[in-house]
Amino acid sequence: MLFGSIPVVLLILPSTAMGSALIMANRPGWDLAASAMTMAMLATQMGASVGFVAVIEHAATAYEAEIAALPIDEEVAALDEARALYATAWRNASDWRDASYPAAARVLAVTAAAAGLVGCHLSVLAACFARVTVADRFDAPPISGNPLNVVRGGAGYALLASFLGGLLLLLLHRAWLGRRTRARLVVEEAAVARRGPDKAMAPKGAAEAPVLEQGKVWGVHY
């Protein structure tokens, strides 16, 4: 395994060389080297990405029959089914056309989006941060030993507040949606149980438990 990972050095070396050249970029004669190392790093990363995709696509095509013949893992299938059920419930719970969607949740989502837009436009309209490169010393201007020195006046702090406030509101909204989704799943499962196991949408024990667990783990990621 260790010998098989040796080719990754071909990706690490250009990145390391680029970082070294960028640190020295402020010194005479190093700007051209920094540009050359940056181009070399981009070329190797792009080449590796295209190569990986080509190899994976070739293997998937050449061994399509063998891959299709592999048995389906029951635990993975149950988890995939649970995730699909949760994703469907999430879409239904987040539908704004639903009359039961609270106005407070709408205001929360709109405010989060507005805060993000304000932050994006503010960074274009005003100089919010000082220009800093990897070649600048930490104890020299503009940082001068304090990372907050890169923030320029009220515009910079307003931008930070917009992004942090918008992110907090978005997380709160998604957490609420997760709870709403889990509540709907519980109601739907109770309705299925009352109708009888022959009309259940998913087999008991296979998808029901993972669905509830997904509500706890994946509630803020869908």
Q: What is the pLDDT of residues 104-122, one digit of tens each?
A: 999 999 999 999 999 999 9
Question: Is position 190 within any domain?
Answer: yes
Question: Is position 122 within any domain?
Answer: yes
Report whether 163 contacts 115 (CB < 8 A).
yes
Question: Is position 222 within any domain?
Answer: no
* Structure confidence at residue 205 (pLDDT): 43
Q: What is the mean pLDDT of the chain?
A: 84
Question: Which helix (H) or strand (E) element contains residue 161?
Answer: helix 153-195
Are 130 and 84 within one domain?
A: yes
Are 63 and 77 within one domain?
A: no
Report whether 57 contacts 24 (CB < 8 A).
no
Last residue of a domain, one of 40, 67, 94: 67
User: How far is 124 from 189, CA to CA, in rounded Å?
Assistant: 50
Question: Is position 128 within any domain?
Answer: yes
Are 15 and 82 within one domain?
A: no
User: How far is 130 from 117, CA to CA, in rounded Å?
Assistant: 21
Q: What are the distances in angstroms from CA 201 to CA 17, 186, 197, 212?
A: 57, 13, 9, 15
Q: Is pLDDT larger for residue 137 or for residue 53?
A: 53
User: How far is 200 from 166, CA to CA, in rounded Å?
Assistant: 40
What backbone phi and psi angles, to 5 degrees, belong to 129? -135, 150
Are 49 and 137 within one domain?
A: no
Last residue of a domain, one of 67, 95, 110: 67
pLDDT at 210 over 90: no
Are 77 and 63 within one domain?
A: no
Are 53 and 77 within one domain?
A: no
pLDDT digits (tens, 9 = 90+) for 142-185: 889 999 999 998 999 999 999 999 999 999 999 999 999 999 99
Are 25 and 80 within one domain?
A: no
- Of the pLDDT bands very low, low, confident and very high (cuts 50, 70, 90), residue 85 is very high
Q: Which amino acid is at 116?
A: G
pLDDT digits (tens, 9 = 90+) for 10-39: 888 888 888 888 888 778 878 888 888 889
Q: Is pLDDT larger for residue 189 or for residue 55?
A: 55
Last residue of a domain, one of 34, 67, 100: 67
User: Could you give the number of structural domains in the chain?
Assistant: 2
Residues in the chain: 222
Are 48 and 116 within one domain?
A: no
Domain that holds residue 52: 3-67
Are 62 and 79 within one domain?
A: no
Q: Would you give the DSSP letter of residue 71? A: P
Percent of the chain with pLDDT over 90: 46
CA nearest neighbour of 150 among 129, 127, 126, 164: 129
Q: Is pLDDT larger for residue 187 or for residue 2?
A: 187
- Of the pLDDT bands very low, low, confident and very high (cuts 50, 70, 90), residue 217 is very low
Are 36 and 89 within one domain?
A: no
Are 149 and 165 within one domain?
A: yes
Displacement of CA 117 from its chain's centroid (Å): 19
Question: Is position 196 within any domain?
Answer: yes
Burial grade of 196 (CB within 10 A; 0-12, 13-18, 19 or more): exposed
Q: Taking residues 71-99, report their average pLDDT.
A: 91
User: How far is 145 from 200, CA to CA, in rounded Å?
Assistant: 63
Burial grade of 182 (CB within 10 A; 0-12, 13-18, 19 or more): buried
- Can you give the pTM of this predicted structure? 0.64
Q: Contacts from 24-32 at CB under 8 Å and sequence distance 24+?
A: 24/135, 25/133, 25/134, 25/135, 26/133, 26/135, 26/136
Are 165 and 55 within one domain?
A: no
User: How far is 188 from 158, CA to CA, in rounded Å?
Assistant: 44
